[in-house]
Amino acid sequence: MEQRIARTAWLVTFGAVLVLPVLLYLAITPAGPMWSQLSTVTGLLALSALACATILPSRLRSLTRAFGIESVLDVHRFLGCSAAILTLLHLACVVAADPAKVALLDVTHAGPAPLSATASTVAMLTLIVLAMLRSRLRLAYEAFRWSHVGLAAASLLFAGLHVWFLNKLVAHPVMDGMFAAIAALLIAVLGYRWIWRTMLDPTAEFIVQQVRAETHTVSTLVLKARTRHSGEVFDFEPGQFAWIRLDRSPAAQEHPFTIASAARRDHTVEFTIRHAGDFTKALPGLHPGSPVWVDGPHGAFTPGTGRTGVVMIAGGVGVTPMMSMLRTAAHRGDRRPYRLVVVAGRREELLFRDELAVMRTQLDLEVTEVLRRPVPDWSGHTGDIGVGLLTAVLAAEERLGDLDYFLCGPAGLVTDALDALSVLDVPLDRIHTEQFDMV
Ligand SMILES: Cc1cc2nc3c(=O)[nH]c(=O)nc-3n(C[C@H](O)[C@H](O)[C@H](O)COP(=O)(O)OP(=O)(O)OC[C@H]3O[C@@H](n4cnc5c(N)ncnc54)[C@H](O)[C@@H]3O)c2cc1C
């Protein structure tokens, strides 16, 4: 219910930012030549899309909880690309309205309004090209992240300056008030994201309580909220994630990790992390008492309550959200059936085997272990996730469409599982996915 209200509120907010400027403009200005009108409409829509694309990835917890991080980022990408297309259409309409204005593209002679428009467009297009070519260019995540943030800020700032220098729309008090409201919204959201959450919010402060080795390549980080905020607990839903930083600065590296512990409303929280690169490889070296900053919880990869049963398909460290769901279910005495399929490359990479064996006695839980490649002394399942495997796992379930499905792991595994579930006629709205690669 709460989630539905939050969704509606966010949809209304984004809808208002997207269409209000155009509606107001059309309402207050007398009809003019078509191309001129169209150039203003496309320009306003581009600016609104850019503002919404900026708000979306700003780590607003109620937003990521309402829609899930994957949908939030999908819409962010869609609006970013739409802003670029609308900007190009705006330019085409400006030239169609008055062909002499093609001269404005000459940056050596252009005034501040066209110059700022050109700077904004170049920043926006560079940002999109870099985002699309990131893996092909093998751009390190941090380099990509900072170029993305810098180019987005430049694009937004220059777009605002373009409107300001034009002095056409802002000359009207209604439009001026509307631009001021959108600017205030952006400043509030960005201030929350870059100043409050990263530098000031005391509830983001944690200390390391323990670092536990799970395997040679996976560790669990146990964090405790700082004692001076002991009145508050870290309240999250199983399956949610948080960004972790080792420094208070907004320039510090930040990485997302799923909360692996039970949602118990207490002061500790656990993250199980694979040593993938420089940041995650440094985590096992943290000492008890080291400060850590946690921005979360975020996301909607959560099973909720009252459903008939939960099927979880996890690859590698993608088992972390499933562990949080199962630990929470055990803590709450949940009687629903849970069916977990875990896939790993090698037997040693199967995580939490002992704990899952204990949980099988506490919950209606069945665990199916799958190794990618066959090994001589392995009698269990091997190979990819397919219809055959899922049919065997779910043989006892009567109505597959009544269960909720959670998929987390490498892209290939998620795609295989989606294909198999589609063959089994599982409705799409019952399937939830979380991929550990945001970009
Ligand atoms: C929602 C979500 C939940 C996750 N949960 C877990 C978890 O529970 N356990 C776990 O081991 N891993 C998890 N990950 C993956 C984890 O964030 C990356 O492995 C980690 O950021 C790698 O950082 P690195 O510097 O050590 O490695 P790098 O070598 O720098 O990165 C390895 C790859 O991880 C991705 N990545 C790096 N930094 C980030 C970032 N800040 N944001 C998004 N992607 C990034 C990039 O695609 C990069 O190619 C999760 C990712 C997401 C998006």
Indicate if ligand 1 lies below 6 Å from the C-beta of 179.
no
Name the closest-CA residue to atom 9, ligand 1.
Answer: 273
Please indicate, yes or no, whether the overall pTM of this predicted structure exceeds 0.75: yes
Residues 6+ apart with CB under 8 A from 277: 141
The best mutation among 133, 280, 317 to test binding of ligand 1, ranked by most ligand atoms within 8 Å of the C-beta, falls on: 280
Q: Residue with the nearest Cα to atom 50 of ligand 1? A: 436
Of all residues in the chain, the percent with pLDDT exceeding 90 is 79
Fold of 310-434: Rossmann fold (3.40.50)
Question: 230 pLDDT exceeds 60?
Answer: no
How many whole angstroms from its chain centre is CA 121? 25
Tell me the average pLDDT across 242-262: 95
Atom of ligand 1 at shortest distance to CA of 271?
Answer: 8
In this model, does residue 233 exceed pLDDT 80? no
Instruction: Return the pLDDT at 264.
Output: 85
> d(Cα 196, Cα 214) in Å, to the nearest integer?
34
d(CA 238, CA 249): 28
Give 3-state DSSP helix, strand, coil % of the chain, rounded to 5: 55, 15, 30
Q: Is the pLDDT of residue 175 over 70?
A: yes
Query: For residue 66, is pLDDT > 70?
Result: yes
pLDDT band at 437 (very low <50, low <70, confident <90, very high): confident
pLDDT digits (tens, 9 = 90+) for 67-108: 999 999 999 999 999 999 999 999 999 999 999 988 888 888
Strands 364-371 and 337-344 come out as parallel
Mean pLDDT computed over 31-49: 94
Lowest mean pLDDT segment, chosen from 139-153, 179-193, 228-242, 382-396:
228-242
Angle between helices 173-191 and 2-28 (to 10 degrees): 150
| Residue 438 pLDDT greater than 70, yes or no | no
- Mapping DSSP to helix (H, G, I), strand (E, B) and coil, where does residue 222 land? strand
256 lines ligand 1 (CB under 6 A): yes
Identify the band that residue 351 occupies on the pLDDT scale cut at 50, 70 and 90: very high
From the CB of 141, is ligand 1 less than 6 Å away?
yes
The answer, yes or no, to whether any atom of ligand 1 lies below 6 A from the CB of 273, is yes
Strand order in the sheet with 291-298: 254-258, 241-245, 291-298, 205-213, 218-225, 268-274
Query: Do the domains 310-434 and 203-298 match in fold?
Result: no
232 has a pLDDT exceeding 70: no
Any ligand 1 atom below 6 A from CB of 298? no
What average pLDDT score do residues 43-49 get?
97
The torsion angles phi and psi of 396, rounded to 5 degrees, stand at -85, -10
Residue 265 pLDDT > 80: no
Q: Which of 141, 317, 435 to mutate to test the pocket of ligand 1 (most atoms within 8 A of CB)?
A: 141
DSSP state of 425: T
> Cα 306 from chain centroid?
26
Q: Looking at residue 358, what is its pLDDT?
A: 96
- Position 169 scores a pLDDT of 85
**Mean of all residue pLDDT scores within the chain:** 92
When mean pLDDT is compared across 123-127, 221-225, 376-380, the lowest value belongs to 376-380
**Residue recorded with tokens 């409050």:** 196
**Region 386-398: what's the mean pLDDT?**
89
Please work out whether the CB of residue 257 comes within 6 Å of at least one atom of ligand 1: yes
Could you tell me the distance, in angstroms and rounded to a whole number, from the CA of residue 436 to the centre of ligand 1? 6
Using DSSP bridges, classify how beta strands 291-298 and 310-315 pair: parallel, antiparallel or unpaired: unpaired
Give nearest CA residue, ligand 1 atom 10: 273
List pLDDT tens digits, range 157-174: 999 999 999 988 888 999
Q: Where are the domains of the chain?
A: 2-200, 203-298, 310-434
The mean pLDDT of 379-397, rounded to a whole number, is 90
Percent with pLDDT over 70 in the chain? 97
For ligand 1, atom 21, which residue shows the shortest CA distance?
255
Residue type, 221: L
Is the beta carbon of 437 within 6 A of some atom in ligand 1?
yes
- Is the CB–ligand 1 distance for residue 280 below 6 Å? yes
Residue 3, CA atoms < 13 Å, CB-side half-sphere: 13
| pLDDT at 58 (0 to 100) | 95
Looking at domain 203-298, does it have CATH number 2.40.30.10? yes
Q: What is the 418 CA–ligand 1 centroid distance (Å)?
A: 22
Instruction: Extract the runs of DSSP E, i.e. beta strands, from 75-217.
Output: 205-213
- For every residue of 78-132, DSSP letters joined together read HHHHHHHHHHHHHHHHHHHH-GGGGGGG-TTT--HHHHHHHHHHHHHHHHHHHHH
> Does 269 have pLDDT greater than 90?
yes
404/339 Cα distance (integer angstroms): 10
- In the reported structure, the alpha carbon of residue 207 is separated from the centroid of ligand 1 by a whole-number distance in angstroms of 21
pLDDT digits (tens, 9 = 90+) for 276-321: 999 999 999 999 999 999 999 999 999 977 668 999 999 999 999 9
Pocket lining: 276 vs ligand 1, CB cutoff 6 Å: yes
